[in-house]
Chain A
Amino acid sequence: MSVVQAVVQNSPPLLEMRGISKSFPGVQALDSVDVALFPGTVTALIGENGAGKSTLVKILTGIYQHDSGAIIIDGAPVHFTSAEAAIRSGITAIHQETVLFDELSVAENIFLGHAPRNRLGLVNWSAMNARAAALLTSIDAPISPYMRLKDLSIAQRHLVAIARALSVEARVVIMDEPTAALSYKEVEDLFRIIERLKRQGKAILFISHKFEEVYQIAERFVVLRDGRSIGAGLLAKTGQDEIVRMMVGRSVDHVFPKLDVAIGNTVLKVSGYSHPTEFDNISFELRRGEILGLYGLVGAGRSEFCQSLFGITRPSAGSLELEGRSVEIRSPADAIGAGIVYVPEERGRHGAVLQMPIFQNFTMATLGRTTRAGFLREAEEFALARRYAERLDLRAAALSVPVGTLSGGNQQKVVIGKWLATRPKVIILDEPTKGIDIGSKAAVHAFMSELAGEGLSVIMVSSELPEILGMSDRVLVMREGRMAGIWNREGLDAETLVRAATGNQ
């Protein structure tokens, strides 16, 4: 550690980003950001969702081009016009969602774009397979280079992604939330690989939401907020509270305002819900005015389970009771009719129709109420949309503009408003605050409390422990498609949930 510390202080940066700015139509994604990466050092990039981390990574990997500022490697400015150029300059990245090719073999996934070639310039498959095997062995990954990627598990895919990053002669390795879907054991393995990379003198940019990991593996940090670099320095000299303050720009005490709500009778009873490939034997009861937190790692089957409750997929076994009556849900229309609605995680893909006007999105699930004999009545659509827009304090130029022109938080309000218009009994919120700014986050949380207070039952899927602990009356934890346990709010701590979610007892 002392050697590393010396390196950190003495050597010049391997890569520097100076005054990088990038704007998209209507958004200043990055505003004069400075980042320095040093050889043999892990620098943690810290920031809220939407702070500009992914934009920064995309600029470093040549996917986007910055508007102004400079990227300097070894003292010389470089300009990446393509992903290929960034790779040639020795920058490689392991991405949040493993972006690889399902249909190609493991070896080819590792070497695509820089496959070993023979004298004729043709791809040398045997050399490629041999080198892939060697690489995988070097990171203790027991995966055959001949396998097709689609036959691998999520953790195995991750190892392939790491092998891919190491297959180029990279000097800068970017890791974008590499631990999000990994168990404790796998995170330990990853950290061993990172230690090895450090010893080889590579500069590593490590992005993670988990402070314990950041403090464990990184030496330096850079904090981004609203597209600006707020602070940078040595982690050893900076406390966690200070970093959190830099991230959010204010005290975080009032982010999760859970009101005390009178919990009523059982509304929804789920018994033995199972799916052939995604989840197995989920059972619980949900009461009036209750918020049930659904916690687990990414890929634990939480969304799959919720989508099955909502009728997107059919369960292979199990039954539902709503207010004491048995119901069978075969389609989203059935679910909406029964009073169960679902706000999906991917707003732009599953939630809102971004190209269509706000008022049409509000009325999309309740068209029966704003039509007569199948004919649309625009005035009533506007009236209904206005009612929920005002209730949710929507910020928009007009109700006829496309939802896609709104900010993430306001888009979320439209999706929630669409469901409230159906007057549901149970609302399922899948990662309701993912990717929205901290102000809207507090508003969404306050609003959830308010809904519970009005007697609505809420299922909230979340991967953020503070949100789970702050908002839930009870917490159900899923691991690898199965229930790992269910806990009451009293006396519940983060460690219990993490252990249950990762399977480390």
Chain B
Amino acid sequence: MSRILKYRELLLVAIILVLIAAFSARAPGFASPKSLANIFNDTSILIILALGQMAVILTKSIDLSVAANLSFTGMAVAMLNSAYPEVPLPLLIAAALGIGAGLGAINGFMVWRIGIPAIVATLGTLTIYRGMAFVLSGGAWVNQTQMTPAFLNTPRLPVLGLPLLGWTALLVIAIIATVFTRTVFGRSLYAAGGNPTAALYAGVDVGRAKFFAFMLSGALAGLCGYLWVSRYAVAYVDIAAGFELDTVAACVIGGISTLGGIGSVGGAVLGALFLGVIKNALPVINVSPFWQMAISGLVIIIAVLFNARQERRKGRLILRDAAKSRPVRMETPVEGAAA
């Protein structure tokens, strides 16, 4: 659809391939299908969260509460599962989506109806939601033994070599790609962030678009709450602490402009995969996992620098337009100057 986005995605694909090649030179087997499937599976949660974050960033906002939402929702479904083991899994997943969407809607409401800047609203709910997880659990852990096997094992079930967790990510990617490119809601996200004034004139309700973006981000965070708890087989207050930054990082690396209105699903997914490859490679090449935080910080800064070069306002480009229109005008005979 657009040259620059394709260029950005190709560049990311190339970088990721080079990284994988380099790592597999140090550690043979890193590039094996099994290992790659494992990396994708390991990055699934980040991918899903990044897509929710992307919806919010497209509208020129930011959602810093996703990880806290994940923690609260994960705790809630884990406790639900341990207290009422007979509740079927689909219902629990629906509950996770619902609780998450509800928490997202609170953010969205504050941004849409009250007009609080997104960064402040979600900075506030970031502490509130995690605090609520503590209040809910009383600070206690929900352990593997307290959860049902179906709850724990379903995301780990391998289908065609990839666990269901990875398939879930693929499904979410497909749905989000369709929603963003093919639905009125998806396009209104781009319009609302790209030019809010024009969006207003085109009949797009910018505030409502933001509200639903936050709700989507919340619902996906809720889903990830369940996925996280089942994957690591434990729920406690501090799970995924600081993970909201990784989701922002994935978006920024993927070329989603924090000024709103620019970015593609492919970019966000590749941005998340980039971080996932690095995270999985560090232990393989004997680098302490403590390096990961600094690396993602550095990559965020480099990506922002890179994005800014593309976003820089160029002025009116009067001379370019003049050069463009001149030959056309020479071809057409000048009609009698009117009136």
| A301 touches B (CB below 8 Å) | yes
Of the 9-residue stretches A71-79, A183-191, A224-232, A235-243, which lies at the interface with chain B?
A: A183-191
Asked if A83 and B335 sit within 8 Å, CB to CB, the answer is: no
Q: Hey, which chain A residues are within 8 Å of B182, CB to CB?
A: 122-123, 125
Asked if A278 and B195 sit within 8 Å, CB to CB, the answer is: no
Q: Hey, which chain B residues are within 8 Å of A212, CB to CB?
A: 338-339
Q: Hey, which chain B residues are within 8 Å of A505, CB to CB?
A: 334
| B309 touches A (CB below 8 Å) | no
Of the 9-residue stretches B30-38, B103-111, B124-132, B318-326, which lies at the interface with chain A?
A: B318-326
Q: Hey, which chain A residues are within 8 Å of B322, CB to CB?
A: 480-482
Per the 8 Å Cβ criterion, residues 125-174 of A in contact with B are 125, 146, 148, 153-155
Asked if B318 and A299 sit within 8 Å, CB to CB, the answer is: yes
A466 CA to B321 CA in the complex, in Å?
Answer: 28
Q: Hey, which chain B residues are within 8 Å of A184, CB to CB?
A: 337-338
Asked if A104 and B329 sit within 8 Å, CB to CB, the answer is: no
Asked if B338 and A104 sit within 8 Å, CB to CB, the answer is: no
Asked if B190 and A104 sit within 8 Å, CB to CB, the answer is: yes
Q: How far is the CB of B182 from the nearest CB of chain A, in Å?
A: 4
Closest to A157 in B: B321
Of the 9-residue stretches B42-50, B199-207, B231-239, B245-253, which lies at the interface with chain A?
A: B199-207
Q: How far is the CB of A99 from the nearest CB of chain B, in Å?
A: 4
Q: Hey, which chain B residues are within 8 Å of A277, CB to CB?
A: 314-320
Interface residues in A, total, Cβ within 8 A: 58
| B194 touches A (CB below 8 Å) | yes
A216 CA to B184 CA in the complex, in Å?
Answer: 40
Asked if A304 and B187 sit within 8 Å, CB to CB, the answer is: no
Residue in B188, B314, B337 with the greatest tally of chain A CB atoms within 10 Å: B337
Asked if B195 and A99 sit within 8 Å, CB to CB, the answer is: yes
Residue in A125, A184, A212, A280 with the greatest tally of chain B CB atoms within 10 Å: A184
Asked if A185 and B334 sit within 8 Å, CB to CB, the answer is: yes
Which of B191, B203, B338 touches A188 (beta carbons < 8 Å)? B338
Per the 8 Å Cβ criterion, residues 276-295 of B in contact with A are none
Q: Hey, which chain B residues are within 8 Å of A122, CB to CB?
A: 178, 182-183
| A504 touches B (CB below 8 Å) | yes
Q: Hey, which chain B residues are within 8 Å of A275, CB to CB?
A: 319
Per the 8 Å Cβ criterion, residues 288-311 of A in contact with B are 299-301, 304
Q: Hey, which chain A residues are within 8 Å of B188, CB to CB?
A: 113
Q: Mark A230-265, 1 if CB is under 8 A from B, else 0.
A: 000000000000000000000000000000000000
| B171 touches A (CB below 8 Å) | no
Q: Mark A475-504, 1 if CB is under 8 A from B, else 0.
A: 000001110000000000000000100011
Asked if B337 and A154 sit within 8 Å, CB to CB, the answer is: no
Asked if A216 and B319 sit within 8 Å, CB to CB, the answer is: no
Which of B203, B319, B332 touches A82 (beta carbons < 8 Å)? B203
Q: Hey, which chain A residues are within 8 Å of B100, CB to CB?
A: none
Q: Mark B200-216, 1 if CB is under 8 A from A, else 0.
A: 11111100000000000
Main secondary structure of the interface of A (DSSP, over half): loop
Q: Hey, which chain B residues are within 8 Å of A155, CB to CB?
A: 321, 325
Q: Hey, which chain B residues are within 8 Å of A95, CB to CB?
A: 201
Q: How far is the CB of A85 from the nearest CB of chain B, in Å?
A: 8
Q: How far is the CB of B175 from the nearest CB of chain A, in Å?
A: 12
Asked if A112 and B318 sit within 8 Å, CB to CB, the answer is: no
Closest to B332 in A: A185
A301 CA to B262 CA in the complex, in Å?
Answer: 28
Asked if A123 and B191 sit within 8 Å, CB to CB, the answer is: no
Which of A105, A115, A304 touches B184 (beta carbons < 8 Å)? A115
Asked if A185 and B335 sit within 8 Å, CB to CB, the answer is: yes
Q: How far is the CB of A181 from the nearest CB of chain B, in Å?
A: 10
Residue in B181, B188, B201, B204 with the greatest tally of chain A CB atoms within 10 Å: B201
Q: Hey, which chain A residues are within 8 Å of B199, CB to CB?
A: 101
Q: Hey, which chain A residues are within 8 Å of B335, CB to CB?
A: 185, 188
A319 CA to B338 CA in the complex, in Å?
Answer: 39
Asked if A123 and B319 sit within 8 Å, CB to CB, the answer is: no
| A219 touches B (CB below 8 Å) | no
| A30 touches B (CB below 8 Å) | no
Asked if A280 and B200 sit within 8 Å, CB to CB, the answer is: no
| A285 touches B (CB below 8 Å) | no
Q: Hey, which chain B residues are within 8 Å of A154, CB to CB?
A: 316, 321
A215 CA to B321 CA in the complex, in Å?
Answer: 30
Q: How far is the CB of B135 from the nearest CB of chain A, in Å?
A: 40
Per the 8 Å Cβ criterion, residues 295-339 of B in contact with A are 314-322, 324-325, 329, 332, 334-335, 337-339
Asked if A480 and B318 sit within 8 Å, CB to CB, the answer is: yes
Asked if B319 and A299 sit within 8 Å, CB to CB, the answer is: no
Q: How far is the CB of B293 from the nearest CB of chain A, in Å?
A: 32
| A273 touches B (CB below 8 Å) | no
| A100 touches B (CB below 8 Å) | yes
| A93 touches B (CB below 8 Å) | yes
Asked if B324 and A153 sit within 8 Å, CB to CB, the answer is: yes
Asked if A103 and B201 sit within 8 Å, CB to CB, the answer is: no
A101 CA to B320 CA in the complex, in Å?
Answer: 20
| B261 touches A (CB below 8 Å) | yes
A299 CA to B190 CA in the complex, in Å?
Answer: 27
A301 CA to B315 CA in the complex, in Å?
Answer: 10
Q: Hey, which chain B residues are within 8 Å of A342, CB to CB?
A: none
| A102 touches B (CB below 8 Å) | yes
Asked if A299 and B316 sit within 8 Å, CB to CB, the answer is: yes
Q: Hey, which chain B residues are within 8 Å of A84, CB to CB?
A: 203-205
Which of A101, A148, A183, A280 touches B2 (beta carbons < 8 Å)? A148
| B153 touches A (CB below 8 Å) | no
Closest to A123 in B: B182
Which of B183, B261, B325, B338 touches A187 (beta carbons < 8 Å)? B338
Known: A104-B191, A480-B325. 7 other contacts (CB 8 A): A61-B201, A83-B203, A104-B190, A105-B2, A153-B325, A480-B321, A481-B319
- Name 6 interchain pairs, CB-CB below 8 A, sorted by A: A103-B262, A112-B204, A153-B320, A183-B329, A276-B319, A480-B321
Interface residues of B (CB under 8 A from A): 1-2, 178, 181-184, 187-188, 190-191, 194-195, 197-205, 261-262, 314-322, 324-325, 329, 332, 334-335, 337-339
Interface residues of A (CB under 8 A from B): 61-63, 82-84, 86-87, 93, 95, 99-105, 108, 112-115, 121-123, 125, 146, 148, 153-155, 183-185, 187-188, 212-213, 215-216, 275-280, 299-301, 304, 313, 480-482, 499, 503-505
